[in-house]
Amino acid sequence: MAGSGTAHLRPRDEVLLQVENLYVEFPAGRGRTVRAVSGVSFDLARGETLGIVGESGCGKSSTAKALVQLPRPRAGAVRLDGLDLTTLRGEALRRVRRRLQMIFQDPISSLNPRRRVREIVEEGPLVWGSGTGKVDEVLEAVGLDPATAAVRRPHEFSGGQCQRVSIARALVLEPEVVICDEPVSALDVSVQAQILALLEDLKERYRLTLVFIAHDLAVVKNISDRIMVMYLGKTCELAPSEELIARPAHPYTKALLAAIPGSGLDLPPADRLISGEPPSPVDPPSGCRFRTRCPRAAERCAREEPEIRPVNGGDHYVACHFPDI
């Protein structure tokens, strides 16, 4: 089983969360398999925000759900403080999940429409028997008035307000890691900015470690300490946010940056950096999965899968045979 390499992983005792050679697959009928995530590895230091970005279908959300074992990955390890979640079952896994909470993409459909906001937010503490004393605190922290908002139902709120409820529901269990699965993609641009600022404030207030997933690199770069770029289930590039924006090494990363309107970056038009449609994850290309759309692809790219390796010095890694360095 060939992975994408783990040269970029830091020592386990230096990180809170470490994912190593993660594989997620789904049956697609007629004996076919969707290879959603194929050998992805990354880690998170305590208090860090890792952004994961890529086109729809690249495996971002599948990676996020595999962190909490929903569903379980086919192979690989997900270690939280050294404890491998893939080895846990039943009550042991249930207890660890309290330390990992998720904020979902669609804020309205992720909330029970029959329940009032207070019931939604206090459900977790009631299940755990930890008391509901923090409900009002977290509602205030996300910008909602407990006296009025708590008695209303989700359909009485806007999308941005519903996402605030979802954030409160995650925070009330006092997690260490919050996985944000495209939390602003369904919101208006002005509301996106408010939610991003809120997440930054809450990260500092509650000492959170964040995984922030989006398909828009312009959104990810503003909130992330490091960014991991994914394509068709693989890691293309991983670097500190400012470094990745200033010196992208992978052609796919360059294409994503060139597609940002008004970015001001000195890059060719996106249509010169990428062409065609993504291949099917049921039958991905041999070698480098990006080669069928890459303007610099060569014979080696079809024959040999690129391993992730350091470039440009420091903490910058890329999986490409011909990176810009």
Helix, strand, coil percent content, the chain, rounded in steps of 5: 35, 20, 45
User: H-helix or E-strand containing 265?
Assistant: none
Q: Is the pLDDT of residue 19 over 90?
A: yes
pLDDT tens digits for 114-124? 999 999 999 99
Q: For residues 17 and 48, what is the distance between their CA atoms, to the nearest angstrom? A: 10
pLDDT digits (tens, 9 = 90+) for 20-76: 999 999 998 888 999 999 999 999 999 999 999 999 989 999 999 999 998 899 999
Q: Are 45 and 10 in contact (CB under 8 A)?
A: yes
Least confident range of 82-86, 171-175, 312-316, 318-322: 312-316
Q: Is 222 exposed, middle or buried (0-12, 13-18, 19+ CB in 10 A)?
A: middle
Q: Domain segments of the chain: what residues?
A: 12-98+223-318
CB atoms under 10 Å from CB of 136, counted, come to 18
Q: Which residues of 152-179 are buried (b: 16+ CB within 10 A; e: fewer)?
A: eebeebebbbbbbbbbbbbbbbbbbbbb
Tell me, yes or no, if the pTM score tops 0.85. yes
Q: Which fold has domain 12-98+223-318?
A: Rossmann fold (3.40.50)
Count the neighbouring beta carbons within 10 Å of the beta carbon of residue 312: 18
pLDDT above 70: percentage of residues in the chain: 99
193 CB-near residues (< 8 Å, 6+ apart): none
